[in-house]
């Protein structure tokens, strides 16, 4: 004998093969029980224990069969005909089981419960601060992009009457000079140029209209305000990373840790990934190119922004990237599933390992000369064979005589 258990928003309902209701257990608090089901904390244990005495096999509609591995009589399926029937005629079944008789009241009850569930999920995600970190780091990237475009436009705008400032590579200082001083006379006397080698000469003096200077000044002020917002966002990300993921912050830093969380859309998702995936995260194009064309696989992705990796020699970057990725994955797991207590040994172990790698590999490894010689010999043989084949083809071709062809 078979029976079927289907999960609904009102409770667990058991039916036979003829879609007749055998037994059921209703939820006391719908919102709380739905959240527990989504977290795999609530199972129809009492219903299974009742039905085991009467039925040989109990078929449960679920996507997670590992939850019911302890029950011998239970088998799991993703969808069943009985479950489809219950969902189709849910209003009629609930009116039979409960005191709710009006279909409008049932639909209103369903809407209120699911609205409450979504509100709780949004609230928990905001409390977990994942959403705040993701949105902040994405907005910071967009601000960086806009600053780059606008500062380039400001350089082109000011170049006719401030050509000496083109040697100034500090874009923030450039925008401050144009915003605060604006005219050549004021920039000459400005204290902002004290620590630089730039001087404005008198023979380059060019007169610019006051109306044009006002527009340029307002444009430069807007760029300076973007720089200020960028600094405030960076400080905010630092505070949030220390609060949410202190271990990831100590190992990867604020910006890199936030970018990794944003790329995979959550700290828990990052914690579930293996270190090999963390290593090449952000280098998806190079990975697919390697799979498609057989090129060398990428050594690193987003973690290239780590100062220990970016400042190291090219022949050591693969090994250092592996160590950094492994420590990042451990730190993310501690922050996501632990007590969020800072473990200073992670960073210390990472730095000692990186120093050891640099000591062990001060120079790039030389390839074996014998293998190179063998390859060269093979290539030479192949070239000779090709030449000989080409010569044979030329010999085999017969030269045409005048008698062999007619016009």
The encoded tokens of residue 258 equal 């936030």
- 160 and 220 co-located in one domain: yes
The three-state (H, E, C) secondary structure of the chain, written as one string: CEEEEEECCCEEEEECCCCCEEEEEECCCHHHHHHHHHCCCCCCHHHHHHHHCCCCEEEEECCCHHHHCCCCCEEEECCCHHHHHHHHCHHHHHHHHCCCCCHHHHHHHHHHHHHHHHHHHHHHHHHHCHHHHHHHHHHHHHHHHHHHHHHHHHHHHHCCCCHHHHHCCCHHHHHHHHHHCCCHHHHHCCHHHCCCCCCCCHHHCCCCCHHHHHHHHHHHHHHHHHHHHHHHHHHHHHHHHHHHCHHHHHHHCHHHHHHHHHHHCCHHHHHHCCHHHHHHCCCHHHHHHHHHHCCCCCCCCHHHHCHHHHCCCHHHHHHHHHHHHHHHHHHHHHHHHCCCCCCHHHHHHHHHHHHHHHHHCCCCCCCCHHHHHHHHHHHHHHHHHHHHHHHHHHHHCCCCCHHHCCC
How many other C-beta atoms lie within 10 A of the C-beta of residue 228?
Answer: 9
- 232 and 259 co-located in one domain: no
pLDDT of residue 70: 82
Within a domain: residue 389?
no
Looking up residue 203, the CATH number of its domain turns out to be 1.10.287.4070
Contact in structure between 331 and 242 (CB atoms under 8 Å) = no
The encoded tokens of residue 143 equal 């601000």
- 279 and 322 co-located in one domain: yes
pLDDT of residue 104: 65
- 156 and 101 co-located in one domain: no
Within a domain: residue 402?
no
State how many domains the chain has: 3
Residue that finishes a domain, picked among 76, 111, 126:
126
- 101 and 11 co-located in one domain: yes
- 77 and 103 co-located in one domain: yes
The encoded tokens of residue 240 equal 């949030």
pLDDT of residue 214: 92
Residue that finishes a domain, picked among 214, 238, 262:
238
Within a domain: residue 137?
yes
- 152 and 82 co-located in one domain: no
- 266 and 232 co-located in one domain: no
CA atoms of 7 and 61, how far apart (whole Å): 7
Within a domain: residue 375?
no
- 15 and 100 co-located in one domain: yes
Within a domain: residue 391?
no
- Residue spans of the chain under pLDDT 70: 31, 37-41, 99-107, 110, 121-129, 202-205, 367-381, 383, 389-407
CA atoms of 95 and 364, how far apart (whole Å): 76
Adjacency order of strands within the sheet including 11-15: 21-26, 11-15, 2-7, 57-61, 74-77
- 259 and 348 co-located in one domain: yes
Within a domain: residue 70?
yes
How many other C-beta atoms lie within 10 A of the C-beta of residue 80?
Answer: 16
Within a domain: residue 58?
yes
- What is the extent of the structural domain holding 16? 2-126
Residue that finishes a domain, picked among 238, 263, 280:
238
- 323 and 255 co-located in one domain: yes
pLDDT of residue 407: 44
Looking up residue 40, the CATH number of its domain turns out to be 3.30.420.220
- 170 and 66 co-located in one domain: no
């Amino acid at each position: 004998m078979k029976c079927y258990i289907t999960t609904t928003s009102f409770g667990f309902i058991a039916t036979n093969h003829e879609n007749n209701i055998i037994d059921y257990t209703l939820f006391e608090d719908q919102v709380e029980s739905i959240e527990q089901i989504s977290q795999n904390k609530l199972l129809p244990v009492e219903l299974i224990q009742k039905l085991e005495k009467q039925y040989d096999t109990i078929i449960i509609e679920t996507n997670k069969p590992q939850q019911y591995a302890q029950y011998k009589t239970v088998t799991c399926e993703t969808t069943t005909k009985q479950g489809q029937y219950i969902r189709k005629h849910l209003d009629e079944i609930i009116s039979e089981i409960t005191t709710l008789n009006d279909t409008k009241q049932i639909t209103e009850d369903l809407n209120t419960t699911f609205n409450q569930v979504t509100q709780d999920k949004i609230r928990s995600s905001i409390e977990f601060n994942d959403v705040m970190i993701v949105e902040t780091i994405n907005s910071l990237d967009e601000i960086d992009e806009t600053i780059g475009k606008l500062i380039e436009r400001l350089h082109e705008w000011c170049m006719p009457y401030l050509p000496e400032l083109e040697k100034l590579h500090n874009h923030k200082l450039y925008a401050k000079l144009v915003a605060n001083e604006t005219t050549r006379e004021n920039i000459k006397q400005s204290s902002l140029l004290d620590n630089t080698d730039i001087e404005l000469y008198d023979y380059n003096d060019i007169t610019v209209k006051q109306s044009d200077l006002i527009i340029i000044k307002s444009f430069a002020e807007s760029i300076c305000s973007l720089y200020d917002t960028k600094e405030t966002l960076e400080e905010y990300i630092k505070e949030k990373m220390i609060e949410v993921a202190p271990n990831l912050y100590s190992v990867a830093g604020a910006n890199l840790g936030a970018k990794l969380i944003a790329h995979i859309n959550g700290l828990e998702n990052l914690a579930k990934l293996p270190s090999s995936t963390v290593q090449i995260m952000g280098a998806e194009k190079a990975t697919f190119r390697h799979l498609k064309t057989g090129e060398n696989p990428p050594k690193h992705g987003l973690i290239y922004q780590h100062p220990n990796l970016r400042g190291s020699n090219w022949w050591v970057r693969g090994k250092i990237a592996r160590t950094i990725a492994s420590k990042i994955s451990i730190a993310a797991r501690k922050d996501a599933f632990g007590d969020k207590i800072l473990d200073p040994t992670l960073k210390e172990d990472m730095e000692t390992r990186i120093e050891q790698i640099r000591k062990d590999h001060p120079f790039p490894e030389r390839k074996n000369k014998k293998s190179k010689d063998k390859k060269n010999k093979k290539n030479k043989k192949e070239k000779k064979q090709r030449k000989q084949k080409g010569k044979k083809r030329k010999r085999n071709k017969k030269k045409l005589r005048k008698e062999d062809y007619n016009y």
